[in-house]
Structure 1
Amino acid sequence: MLSNLLFIITGLIGLITTFLIFTNYKSNRIMNLYIILFILIISLRFFLSGLTNFVFDSNFRTTYFKYSNFSLIVIPICYLYFKNLSENNRKLNSKELLHFIFPVALFLVTINRDYFDYNSKQIEIIIYGIFFIFAITYVILCFRLLRTTIWTRKGDIKVIQKQNKLINNWTLFLFIGLILTISRLFISISKEIYFDESIRGHSYQWISALIWLTILFKILRSPEILYGYNVLHQKINENKNNTLVLNDIWKKNTDIQLNNNQHLVLKEKIDSNIIDYIKEIESISLKFELFRNSNLTISDLANSLKIPKSHLSYLFKYHSTISFSEYKKVIRIHDAINQIEQNYLKNNTLDSLSKKVGFTSYNPFFTSFKEIAGVSPLEYYKMNKADFEE
């Protein structure tokens, strides 16, 4: 009775979560139609499973137990969710229907196994053996996909680092939930076979319900997952709230051990002005215009700021995590991201964008963009398309 009540509660929370995701998924890059189907099918299964103990119609129970295994299609659905998430794809592809041929065929064999002229128990064992091979195959596919496309994403820009970390943690959380659920089913069926019981896989189903509830609460208590992590608005808000926009680049600590006498003299002059210098550098940098000059040197920056070149050289040597050359790339990629978010690519090419922000050609622009933003320029543009279309 308590287990059935848990199933009903799990199902209802899942259906509510499905509705909330559906109302926002078009502007939410983390969610797509596959995750909606995934949550809907599992939630309905738990809800109907819970009702079997409260509905006294034997036909309802018989029908549920006969067709409940249709939920095995959630395994390829989970894979397709990860695949479309990694590609920032929001449209269904008809070729993806091929993933459902085998699970649907296996389901049809399962519900019609009584018509085979073989020992029913042996048929069940074979069917479930095939199912676990199928499930393990998709778990491996999911792992390889996540490891090569999502979990390896990096970015030097603070807000993109946060977005990538959010997606990494969420996909890892869901992937672990999938493995635990399949493991529970494997243990349940193995136990039923060992004790010569009817094979249904319903033993310890309350564990799956708790796993699923944990996933649902993870979604509901994380607005970034439920409603989406809006890169543009988050970036603007973070820039408003930070005195130093490129905070991760700078080392503001003045406790530096120096052996060079010339640098010791510079240290005495610069230490009290470090924060002011950094603010001035950022201020002119984030106007972008100066850095659009592909031949920009540290002398040019010093002249524009009316700061001695030696002071800037000292600053980038001892108070920056990157060189001036790398700093130019970071600013230019910030500029490119700003242009993309203003829909520059609607009427212009990526090659044009690369030259506009100060790169001499597209190849170094592409390499720098992917290194700093964690995705290619085209992928980033696709990520922002939802904002343009609204």
Structure 2
Amino acid sequence: MIIILLIAAIFGFVLSTTLFFKKSTNTLATRILGSFYFILSVYALQAFIIDGGYLEHFTWFFLWPLLPYHLIFIPIYYYFKVILTDQFKWDKAELILLIPFLLGLIDVGYVYLQPEHFYNSILSEAISTPEKRLNVQYWLLSLDQHLLMRHFWQFGVLIVLLPEIKFFIKNGGDDELKKILNKWLIIFWGILMVMAVLAIIYALEKMKLLNIFDSLIIIGENGGIITFFLYIALFLIGIIPIYFPSILYGYPQKLTKSSNFISIEQPEDLKFGLEKEEVLAKLKRLKENDCHLDKKFNLTECARKLEMPSHHISYFLKQYYGLSFATYKNTLRTKHAKRLIEEGYLQNNTIDALAEKCGYANRTSFSKSFKSLVEISPSEYAAEFK
């Protein structure tokens, strides 16, 4: 059972590193999520070290992690807020989120200020009897009371967020990307809630305030069913992003269609995560570098150059321009073909040469695309322009 914690920690560290450094369409949200996974990974790793009996080899990994643990629900809260509202907004009332951290800071500071033997006695007991480490009393609170307080705050945060999550899921369109986002938010919220409830029950049992699961202590010598499912919840939180790889890139939000495809200007109310200007600037650079005139230029190649997932590009083009990627590409190619025709390219060259010049594999596909967008063939357009 203990190995579950190590796997969750490894997955969490890899994921948090990816979220911190990978470019995305919603950088703020992904980095906030990365901070949550980093704290969760430290949490899982320390639990593995202590419950696995390895603390005597890692004595430095004790006590101080209590402080970041008391912050774990803060990135949860702001991650959901940024995703749901597409902005980061802080309110004075949210200072209540810092209460567990401040109490933890007082207790950790108190222990470190005591004579060395006081800290060593706590450490020795955690090494010899890991299952009783939560009963140790600091100054204001015992360790199990800290655990209870932290996850009670997490439970409260998730309850506060629930109405906003419901509203977000019911509104904002029904496209494929929104469905993925809705599913991710529901599953992520659900597992976090299960984790909070199990941790609260676990803390109450350790405090001898609840014993409804005494008869279910069936997992391990010192563990129980609650401990087992708590570890499973940590494991699921650590690996569930594997099934939602697009969260590494953030999510596009409220988009309104542009009436002018050629112009790079966008309406003020258009938003694409928090990086819409960067996405549009990248598309503009691709166009200026004539990437669309390369015969091999497809959605996959475009995604590689933009450092974005292909479905995000399709979503953006559909919502912003009202076009599929293929139509967007062909529109740029047709614009280039029209300019060449107007400059007299066909006076000395064939339609086949023009098709190749504009990135098409053959004359047929070029003529078909040109006519669908301009409503006349390239030769007719040349004659009409002349």
Displacement, 1:8? 1.5
Query: What's 2:72 paired with?
Result: 74
Residue among 146, 149, 172 paired with 1:154: 172
- Match of 1:81, as an amino acid? Y
Aligned residues: 246
Q: Which residue pairs with 2:38 in the alignment? A: 40
Task: Choose between structure 1 and 2: higher helix proportion.
Answer: 1
Q: Secondary structure of 1:181's partner?
A: helix
| Counterpart selection for 2:229 from 185, 207, 224 | 207
1:140 equivalenced with 2:159 (yes/no): yes
Counterpart residue number, 1:311:
none
Shift of 1:389: 4.9
Q: 1:85 to 1:62 in 2, by over 3 A?
A: same
Q: Deviations over 1:21-75 (max 9, x none)?
A: 2332433579422101001110122123323367756384475256336313111
Cα 1:141–1:53 change in 2 (3 A) is closer
**Could you say which residue in structure 1 is the equivalent of 2:7?**
9
Where does structure 1 lack aligned partners over 5 or more consecutive residues?
Answer: 232-332, 351-376
**Contact preservation (8 Å) 1:22, 1:36:** yes
CA contact (8 A) 1:88 1:383 kept: no
Contact 1:6–1:206 under 8 Å retained in 2: no
Query: Which stretches in structure 2 are left out of the alignment for 5+ residues?
Result: 115-135, 212-222, 283-386
Cα distance between partner residues in 2 of 1:26 and 1:96: 30
Distance 2:11 2:262 in 1: 36
Answer yes or no: is the 8 Å Cα contact 1:49–1:64 preserved in 2: no
Aligned to 2:265: 344
- Over 3 Å counting, the alpha-carbon distance change for 1:208 and 1:338 in structure 2 is farther
Q: CA deviation at 1:120?
A: 4.8
User: Is the 1:30–1:225 Cα contact (8 Å) retained in structure 2?
Assistant: no
Q: Output the CA distance in 1 between the equivalents of 2:183 and 2:101.
A: 31
Give the C-alpha shift of residue 11 in structure 1.
0.5
| Aligned mates of 2:141, 2:241 — CA distance in 1 | 39
Residue identity opposite 2:170 in structure 1 = T
**Cα contact 1:29–1:85 (8 A) shared by 2:** no
Could you report, residue by residue, the CA deviation over 1:224-245 in whole angstroms, capped at 9, with x for unpaired residues? 22345679xxxxxxxxxxxxxx
Residue from 222, 234, 240 that aligns with 1:218: 240
Quick check: 1:79–1:141 contact (8 Å CA) kept in 2?
no
- Counterpart CA distance in 2 for 1:341 and 1:206 is 58
TM-score by length of 2: 0.51
The structural deviation recorded for 1:188 is 0.7
Q: What is the distance in 2 between the residues matched to 1:230 and 1:34?
A: 16
CA distance in 1, matches of 2:262, 2:196: 41
Matches of 1:57 and 1:47 in 2, distance apart? 11
Equivalent residues of 2:26, 2:274 under 8 A apart: no
Q: Which deviates more from structure 2 when the two are superposed, residues 54-63 or residues 30-39?
A: 54-63
- RMSD value, Cα: 4.2
Tell me the residue number matched to 1:177. 191
